Amino acid sequence: MQLYNADTGDELEGKDTKTRITIIDDDKPGAIYFQESKNVQADASLDSVAVVIERRNGSDGIVTVDYKTTDLDDSPNTATAGVDYKPVEGTLEFKHGETMKEITIQILQKSEEETRDESFLVQLSNVTPAGAKLSKKSYMVVNIVTDAKAKK
pLDDT digits (tens, 9 = 90+) for 118-151: 999 999 999 999 889 999 999 999 999 987 454 4
Residue 66: pLDDT over 60: yes
Strand duo 48-56 + 31-34: pairing:
antiparallel
Name the band, by pLDDT with cuts 50, 70 and 90, for residue 110. confident
Contact by Cβ (8 Å): 145, 116: yes
CA distance 53 to 65: 10
d(CA 125, CA 67): 6
Tally of CA atoms within 13 A in the half-sphere of 151 that contains its CB: 19
Question: What's the CA gap between 69 and 84, in Å, rounded?
Answer: 12
CA 26 to chain centre: 19
User: In CATH, which superfamily holds the domain spanning 31-151?
Assistant: CalX-beta domain (2.60.40.2030)
pLDDT tens-digit series, residues 33-58: 999 999 999 999 999 999 999 999 99
Cα 147 to Cα 152: distance, rounded to the nearest angstrom: 9
pTM for this entry = 0.77
Weakest-pLDDT range from 10-19, 80-89, 93-102, 130-139: 10-19
Please answer whether residues 69 and 122 qualify as being in contact, where contact means their C-beta atoms are separated by less than 8 angstroms: yes
> Which of 137, 145, 87 lies closest to 119, judged by CA?
145
**Domain boundary assignment for the chain:** 31-151
Mean pLDDT along residues 76-88: 94
